[in-house]
Amino acid sequence: MKYLNNTPRSEWQILAKRPVIEKRNLDDIVNNIIDKVRIMGDVALREFTLEFDEFNLGELKVSPAEIEKAKSQVSEELKQAISVAYNNIYKFHAFQKVTEIPVETMEGITCWRKNVAIENVGLYIPGGSAPLFSTILMLAIPAQIAGCKNIVLCTPCDQNGTINPAVLYTASFLGINQIYKIGGAQAVAALAYGTESIPKVDKIFGPGNQFVTKAKELVQKNGIAIDLPAGPSEVLVIADKNADAEFIAADLLSQAEHGTDSQVVFTTNYEPLIEQVNLALEKQLSTLPRAGLAKKTLENSFSVLFNSVDECIDFSNVYAPEHLILAIENPTEYCDKILNAGSVFLGNYACESAGDYASGTNHTLPTNGYAKSYSGVSYDSFVKKITFQKITPRGLQNIGATVEIMAQAEQLTAHKNAVSIRLKKINN
Ligand SMILES: NC(=O)c1ccc[n+]([C@@H]2O[C@H](COP(=O)([O-])OP(=O)(O)OC[C@H]3O[C@@H](n4cnc5c(N)ncnc54)[C@H](O)[C@@H]3O)[C@@H](O)[C@H]2O)c1
Ligand SMILES: N[C@H](CO)Cc1c[nH]c[nH+]1
Ligand SMILES: [Zn+2]
């Protein structure tokens, strides 16, 4: 990791820019994929699966027999772990379902909001470099709590045309049976526009690599709803002298191993920790099966020494990390100072991977600085909040003049008339 000492505030915006993988024309590549899928449907999906996933796909949909086989291949231990994670994630998201009470804004005028599920939702489950079955829990649980009727799942197959058993088991555990072996930008295009095999959905959810994230951005421009820009994973750690270098290194590596386009950042006000963390990184890296990926990510990553924890937090607010770890004394005292972050982990024992899998919070989170304006996936992502209002004659008498005056000032006479015509009747 590159070491930086007290980078001046004037340079923070530049430092906060994520590494861009050398992919000229990403827009063109992804636009071309989307257009082809739109025009050629399943034929294009098969072509792209052959090109990128190296399998000549026949049937796109996973069969009941494949699901049954997968169920028998998953260990009892993993099934048990998935069930514990399910319970925690369910509990946390169920509490997000709040029924708002009607509000009387004036006598005779009552307004309220109601959550109504989005009917057809598409879930993208990453599977290029690791089979992220945990993402199914993160997306399908809030979708089911919201009451989404149709849940369609897309995930890439491997070179043998199969999908990791844990992915199929988790989908089946949640009662999802519309599973398609399509990944990347082509899956997003299929969900956005529909093909012969894959139904069009109302909103697309889920994280993914740069092709997936770009595809979501492009279909959104065409009016398709998406959850949020959830690209390559990242973590920023803030540590003081009470932190444990081995813990910090483990957390940095946990996100570094996702893929080479990830970035991890370490900030501290305690200089000796920089060297200690570097040593721990080297030691732990040598034991990791995905050391190659993680090492490349570390080359795109950095540590910075600042004067104080407050300065570290100021920098973090500019960087707006997907995950923020506060490995400092009394971390809760700093919560109000955090302005931009996807998900925050407090104290030496709140490791980020707990949130990735099982503590209860959602792991589909904004990356690339989007935590400045987006929240992670939640129950709310799966509902529309429809407003209702009831106005009695007395209510219209109370509000009427206000509306008439405002409509007149906007020179919208028909708006004004809609009130006046009623008031006339009430007053007669
Ligand atoms: N932000 C979040 O909430 C979050 C959560 C989980 C994972 N992630 C991120 O998701 C990503 C998963 O990436 P992944 O690659 O492992 O899986 P993926 O499923 O996102 O992408 C794999 C697909 O990419 C397509 N692809 C690969 N090379 C291509 C090329 N040259 N041109 C066009 N398409 C190509 C293929 O179709 C392949 O099926 C990681 O970056 C990880 O960090 C983010
Ligand atoms: N860290 C990822 C979100 O950025 C989520 C994940 C899934 N599995 C492991 N990690
Ligand atoms: Zn992770």
Separation CA 298–CA 295 (nearest Å): 5
Q: Is residue 317 part of a domain?
A: yes
133 and 148 in a single domain? The answer is yes
The domain boundary, picked from 360, 375, 400, lies at 360
Q: Which of 134, 136, 155, 233 to mutate to test the pocket of ligand 2 (most atoms within 8 A of CB)?
A: 233
Percent of the chain residues past pLDDT 90, beyond the cut: 97
Element (H, E) at 356: helix 352-357
Q: Is residue 66 part of a domain?
A: yes
Tens of pLDDT, residues 302-323: 999 999 999 999 999 999 999 9
13 and 79 in a single domain? The answer is no
Residue 63, pLDDT > 70, answer: yes
**Which domain does 55 fall in, by range?**
26-228
Q: Tell me, in angstroms, the distance from the centre of ligand 3 to residue 402's CA.
A: 53
In this predicted structure, what is the pLDDT of residue 143? 98
Q: How confident is the model at residue 169 (pLDDT cuts 50, 70, 90)?
A: very high
- Indicate which residue of 66, 93, 257, 323 is catalytic: 323
Residue 24, pLDDT > 80, answer: no
Report the 10 Å Cβ neighbour count for 411.
Answer: 8
Q: Is residue 383 part of a domain?
A: no
We report the CATH number of the domain holding residue 74 as 3.40.50.1980
Residues 22-40: what's their mean pLDDT?
90
In this predicted structure, what is the pLDDT of residue 113? 97
Tens of pLDDT, residues 203-221: 999 999 999 999 999 999 9
Tens of pLDDT, residues 84-139: 999 999 999 999 999 999 999 999 999 999 999 999 999 999 999 999 999 999 99
Tens of pLDDT, residues 379-421: 999 999 999 999 999 999 999 999 999 999 999 999 999 999 9
Tens of pLDDT, residues 328-370: 999 999 999 999 999 999 999 999 999 999 999 999 999 999 9
Tens of pLDDT, residues 278-301: 999 999 999 999 999 999 999 999
The protein residue with its alpha carbon nearest to ligand 2, atom 4, reads 233
Domains in the chain: how many in total? 3
Could you tell me if the ipTM is greater than 0.85? yes
Residue 257 appears among annotated catalytic residues: no
Q: How confident is the model at residue 19 (pLDDT cuts 50, 70, 90)?
A: confident
Q: Tell me, in angstroms, the distance from the centre of ligand 3 to residue 263's CA.
A: 12
101 and 206 in a single domain? The answer is yes
175 and 73 in a single domain? The answer is yes
What are phi and psi for residue 230, nearest 5 degrees?
Answer: -120, 80
Instruction: Please state whether beta strands 103-106 and 2-5 pair in parallel, antiparallel, or not at all (unpaired).
Output: unpaired
Measure CA of the first residue to CA of the last residue in the chain; give whole Å. 79
Residues 237-254: what's their mean pLDDT?
98
We report the CATH number of the domain holding residue 403 as 1.20.5.1300
Separation CA 225–CA 121 (nearest Å): 10
Arithmetic mean of pLDDT over the chain: 97
In this predicted structure, what is the pLDDT of residue 23? 63
266 and 292 in a single domain? The answer is yes
Q: Is residue 50 part of a domain?
A: yes
122 and 164 in a single domain? The answer is yes
